[in-house]
């Protein structure tokens, strides 16, 4: 399980930061995705649209996980990532070859903030108004989901970007002064 979590972290980090260089994934068509994964997708994300399918060539060894860049794209893979859109959210879901959901990364823009988050902002930043927000939730099987909000606040001509966890704790803030000409 530890190796799987490490592998998902590596794949997620690399694919997000190096999306233009798809070193660790192979784009595949829907017909190349095993039926058991498509069935799990329909159960896990009903009414959603599946936009992108990728196979990830992970190999599990005794105490390690490796990415096999030489994987033949015509062979079966053991890990798949599917980009899911629905319910005003964008989700990257990772499945193993048996259709078990290994992890998700969910991103939503301009969602209504939970009451606890609104309250936390009002207490920490009186007079500031929420202008934009992005919600991100990362979840790996067997672990507690990690939630984070990126929120843009305004107060007059000042803008501030803050990061808050799912419990309302401010993680970081950055005040940006208005641009001067």
- Residues 75 and 161 both lie in one domain: no
Closest by alpha carbon to 134, among 105, 158, 156, 155?
A: 105
How far from 170 is each of 107, 115, 119, 129, 150, CA to CA, in Å?
19, 15, 12, 16, 10
- Residues 40 and 92 both lie in one domain: yes
- Residues 95 and 114 both lie in one domain: no
- Residues 63 and 138 both lie in one domain: no
Closest by alpha carbon to 11, among 145, 166, 140?
A: 140
**Region 112-130: what's the mean pLDDT?**
92
Neighbouring CB atoms inside 10 A of 55's CB total: 21
Residue 45 lies in a domain: yes
Residue bearing the bigger pLDDT, 65 or 146: 146
What's the pTM? 0.70
**Region 98-117: what's the mean pLDDT?**
92
Structural domain harbouring 158: 110-176
The pLDDT value given to residue 87 = 76
Q: Is the pLDDT of residue 177 over 80?
A: no
The pLDDT value given to residue 176 = 58
Number of domains comprising the chain: 2
| Residue 65: pLDDT band with limits 50, 70, 90 | very low
- Whose tokens are 């799912």? That residue is 166
């Amino acid at each position: 399980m530890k190796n799987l979590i490490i592998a998902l972290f590596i794949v997620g980090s690399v694919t997000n930061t190096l999306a233009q260089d798809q070193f660790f994934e192979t784009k595949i068509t829907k017909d190349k995705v095993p039926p058991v994964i498509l069935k799990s997708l329909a159960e896990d994300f009903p009414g959603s649209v599946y936009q992108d399918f990728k196979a990830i060539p992970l190999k599990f060894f005794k105490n390690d996980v490796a990415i096999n860049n030489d994987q033949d794209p015509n062979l079966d893979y053991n890990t798949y990532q599917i980009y899911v859109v629905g319910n005003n959210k964008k989700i990257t879901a990772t499945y193993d070859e048996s259709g078990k959901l290994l992890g998700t990364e969910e991103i939503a823009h301009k969602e209504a903030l939970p009451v606890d988050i609104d309250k936390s902002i009002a207490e920490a930043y009186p007079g500031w108004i929420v202008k934009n927000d992005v919600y991100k939730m990362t979840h790996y099987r067997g672990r507690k989901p990690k939630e984070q909000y990126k929120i843009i606040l305004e107060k007059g001509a000042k803008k501030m970007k803050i990061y808050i966890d799912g419990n309302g704790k401010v993680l970081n803030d950055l005040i940006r002064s208005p641009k001067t000409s």
